[in-house]
Structure 1
């Protein structure tokens, strides 16, 4: 492998001093630990050849020899002529430019990679680097194979002036073409990634992964301090800061990167015809767990439904994901500066079928509820969900949503950040997603905060779930001026599963174990899994145009006299 990747110029010294914690580390141990400090966990820089060696399957690896070399277009000289700097970088690194291109597999999944090397003029973005990144994207497009970009850069290459600046547009439009073609793009942020690289291809990919402590930003700390004299907070622009602010999807230590990338490639990469759900076979046992005729459901006091739906022992979205789905990779952030813990989502598999699963998340304890904002999303949460749904549409992944929320967060900050607009945008987006969309209301379906994840081809509800325009307490307070009238309001609102099925608001009721889903999490998850598989099998044979037309017709029918009247007449006759 080492010979295949070429000579490593910089070998580990006998002893290395970690610049982060100042510990002295034996060089060979540092190499065995993938250049991660065993004392403080600091991730030291890797060369591009070493990075490729660690990520790729050895048997299928091919380094791509793409001719692209920087030239001195401007006749630029600072303390040294630009050609002298280029020659030294080539001698010191053994590389022709600051990017290596590779083709092969990661855990058996095909990928094209462009891997930057910070040793080559600080990984700066010049004409040759931009050309190599673009050629990698074009090759991924030609082969319909996912693209992985590993970034390490101080920014644009000043010695090439405006030509360097144009590489931002050139590489960005190359990523845009992959978006149009539905090809998965992955970005691995390593330390540091700044300037023109951060403001183009490194942050435009479908999934952004960062190594611990990796710094990313448009302007570096020194530029910020010198330009506007601001004092920067601790941890500013680090991966942890970025994750908290919704700007990267996840942080992975170096030893876990290969497994994470392999999992994402297997779910979101090139789909093999016939793999996953078989359309010709019904979901085994679906008829035993999903009721489609409301006459088959017993009448239960709606207020009892409400109390059971709110039981903290009921499975939440992460419980369902862990038991009903496989290979889940959680993705974070709205990429606009916000992350909301009340909505979780990511890529997963359902009986082998790649899906995007998104849901409201509450908790089982007061601490969990507080951390998850009691399952009430902020605008950041809805925008995160929208980003994941757009990614699903691009990649052709069915969308599964699990609804369990009292409603959207009603706070001052949520209003300042456009809560109403975020909910509205999600409703509009879901109506036109060209992929199958299935929703299960697992607990509370509260108002627009629930509908923002429930504009689906098929809407199911667990038998003790509730779905309403307002909470019974809110309705009682407004119309009766007495919160104690909540049980009466619950009955009047027809919020229980039986009434929702009668009205056609839901398409089926997923039967719960005796006493409710809170009594048997494994069985509850198995029934939800069976119901989802049945719905997806029915929908998987339809193309995007037909799905959108059918979904729009479904929601267009609500409130029309002929449809609503027929449903009510049937109830009166019974």
Structure 2
């Protein structure tokens, strides 16, 4: 279909948008309330009573998203496409002509470049009015060429979707557009460019099963529907009554398939935040001021003799205090413009692990950490900080995003351990942890891990394979809880204090054993007594560690990480001479 896009003939993108028209009164499709037309427009075609988001044209969407004066349409001109000479109740060319007359558009998508909140971006924006936003050969070609522009300009790509699916009038050729657009996104992945999908209502079929769900970050408008088969098709095919919120953004967020829901008025701010956090191949941040490095050296202890050897069981109790700051607390205190991302894109959303993009002292980073809570309700909702496989797979997804964009990874560890329930085992808990260990070992970006509370077993280590590992003075890190150890080895849970001492799980013990590289001194009364000071100290320590790693790239970062973990136990195994090993093999 190489001839469907030309530089000159037939139908070109309109140079200026059509005039907005709206009736005096608009009936909300969500709640049925009549809304004054001008008020409807002021609210961006959203109902001021129930929040229902009405449809926008592609022009309206581009003007809403892109900063004033930055919008530039990509110069695609479209020739007629009727590869099957298809006719239903009317010939396909007539349907195209009528759609063009009705919408003022040459096809169901517009390609553009511009800026969002000051950050450059390339956008492909679909319009549902044009044959239901269906994915035909021209639409697929425009989206692919728009992605190629993003690649050439080294600029993030935003895809705004609104579609009923692949275009029937073009048969298998429309199906091929799913593969073509997906291959385009693979090229952007290889180039390390951020891709974002903004899902609007509705997005179904071949669009949902290709570029709409393949981007690094997926954002949806409230109650936007996204799915492969539509509700009516499913109910008629299998005879099942579906829940009212089926396939809505809210439904999908709970199940781990989108990152977050953004009301229309927040799109520019939220997207701008993402774009700033993921500037492609951003310049190296300025070095840490000498005073801050000196301060970091003061608060990060590397000599175990400088640390008090408190009662081990008392340290365990302090590490578990629910008043200690959580990952989200540190994110709010430490990072500029933090945007939490959700979902593992496979099985669900686990609230016991949180993560997202932000900037630490101006440096874009990916932050991932365990999340407990400060009250019984939040503790229960977050599973007491014990992740399911979905949590570890979400963490893996964010680590891969960090690797793609070249961003450092910061992990904050605070968990009793991985969730030990039946469902977690059925979903592959051990496999999810193992995959994270291997992934972290191979990440081509700097990784700094900090144990902020409990470091419990493999559930903690799944976020702990780092170039630099730090811990708070009153944190703990152990293969098992003292209670579990005492129950198994002493067969007496009352021996938990004795087990805590034997496990050597305190910060001075772990520093002496070389499990951690440094211990952060806590403010008087602990990190929960002064969270702001604690966050400041944590930020200085992480920044100093990232500065130390700044000269390493790719393979050297991996080698550094491999060497760090290879040393544990190496002194206990003495290799036989190579000649002896060869002789043993010959005899056997």
Residue 245 of structure 1 corresponds to 255
Offset from partner CA, 1:527-557 (integer Å, 9 cap, x none): 1111101001111221111000110111111
Match of 2:269 among 255, 259, 272: 259
Provide the rounded CA distance (Å) in 2 between the counterparts of 1:172 and 1:13. Answer: 40
1:433 aligns with 2:452: no
Query: Contact 1:9 / 1:92 at 8 angstroms: preserved in 2?
Result: no
Conservation of the 8 A alpha-carbon contact between 1:70 and 1:126: no
Which residue of the partner structure matches residue 278 of structure 1?
Answer: 287
C-alpha separation in 2, matches of 1:117 and 1:455:
45
- Determine if the alignment matches structure 1 residue 99 to structure 2 residue 109: yes
Distance 1:292 1:235, change over 3 A: same
Number of aligned positions between the proteins: 561
- Please give the alpha-carbon distance, in whole angstroms, between the structure 2 residues aligned to 1:277 and 1:4: 45
- Structure 2 distance, partners of 1:459, 1:304, is 23
Work out whether residues 277 and 351 of structure 1, in 8 Å CA contact, stay in contact via their aligned partners in 2: no
Counterparts of residues 495-514 of structure 1 (less than 5 Å): 495-514=505-524
**1:175-199 deviation line (CA, Å, top 9, x unaligned):** 0000011000000000000000000
* In 1: Cα distance, 2:82 partner to 2:434 partner: 52
Q: Which residue of 1 aligns with 2:579?
A: none
Q: For residues 292 and 86 of structure 1, what CA distance do their matches in structure 2 show?
A: 71
Q: Distance in 2 between matches of 1:279 and 1:129?
A: 48
Q: Is the 8 A contact 2:192 2:280 kept in 1?
A: no
Q: Does structure 2 conserve the Cα–Cα contact (< 8 Å) formed by 1:283 and 1:537?
A: no
Is 1:384 paired with 2:394? yes
Q: Deviations over 1:411-460 (max 9, x none)?
A: 11111111111111111100000000000100000000000001000000
**1:400/1:438 contact within 8 Å kept:** yes
1:90-142 deviation line (CA, Å, top 9, x unaligned): 00000001111111111110100000000000000000000011001111111
- Partners of 2:352 and 2:21 in 1: CA distance: 47
In structure 1, list runs of 5 or more residues that go unmatched.
565-574
State which of 120, 123, 127 in structure 2 corresponds to 1:113.
123
Q: TM-score, normalised by structure 2?
A: 0.94
Length-normalised TM-score, structure 1 = 0.96
Q: 1:541 aligns with which of 534, 551, 574?
A: 551
User: Which residue matches 1:189?
Assistant: 199
Q: Is 1:144 aligned to residue 149 of structure 2?
A: no
User: CA contact under 8 A between 2:108 and 2:131: conserved in structure 1?
Assistant: yes
1:70, 1:97 within 8 Å by CA — same for their partners in 2?
no
Paired position in structure 1 for 2:83: 73
Equivalent residue for 2:42? 32
- Partner secondary structure for residue 69 of structure 2: helix
Structure 2 residue aligned with 1:167: 177
Shift of residue 324 of structure 1? 1.4
SS at match of 2:173: helix
Residue 458 in structure 1 maps to residue 485 in structure 2: no
Question: What is the CA RMSD across the aligned residues, in angstroms?
Answer: 1.5
Gaps of 5+ in 2: 1-12, 575-588
- For the Cα contact (< 8 Å) 1:189–1:210, is it kept in 2? yes
Whether the 8 Å contact between 1:125 and 1:153 is mirrored in structure 2 is yes
Q: Show CA shifts across 1:71-94 (max 9, x none).
A: 111011111110110000000000
Q: Tell me the SS of whatever aligns to 1:349.
A: strand
Shift of 1:13: 1.1
Deviation, 1:514, is 2.0
| Runs of 4+ with deviation above 4 angstroms | 279-282
What CA distance in whole angstroms lies between the structure 1 residues aligned with 2:362 and 2:45? Answer: 36
C-alpha deviation, 1:260, in angstroms? 0.3
SS in 1 for 2:87: coil
1: CA distance, partners of 2:18 / 2:390: 45
Write out aligned runs for 1:152-551 (5 A). Answer: 152-274=162-284, 276-278=285-287, 283-551=293-561
1 CA distance for matches of 2:566 and 2:80?
58
Q: Is the 8 A contact 1:438 1:459 kept in 2?
A: yes
SS for the counterpart of 2:77 is coil
Does 1:50 find its partner at 2:78? no
* Alignment partners' CA distance in 1, 2:97 and 2:123: 25
Following superposition, the deviation at residue 519 of structure 1 comes to 1.1
In structure 1, the partner of 2:6 is none
Higher mean alpha-carbon deviation, 221-230 vs 305-314, is at 221-230
Question: Partner of 2:51: helix, strand, or coil?
Answer: coil
Alignment of 1:8-23 (within 5 A): 8=18, 11-23=21-33
| 3-state SS of 2:366 partner | strand
Structure 2 CA distance for aligned equivalents of residues 506 and 211 of structure 1: 44
- Tell me the equivalent position of 1:90: 100
Contact in 1 for aligned 2:288/2:543 (Cα 8 Å)? no
Q: Shift of residue 305 of structure 1?
A: 0.9
Deviation at 1:68, TM superposition (A): 3.5
The structure-2 alpha-carbon separation of the partners of 1:7 and 1:550, relative to structure 1 and needing over 3 Å to count, comes to closer
Q: Is the 8 A contact 1:345 1:388 kept in 2?
A: yes
**How far apart are 1:563 and its partner, in Å?**
10
Deviation, structure 1 residue 234:
1.3
Moved more, 553-562 or 23-32: 553-562
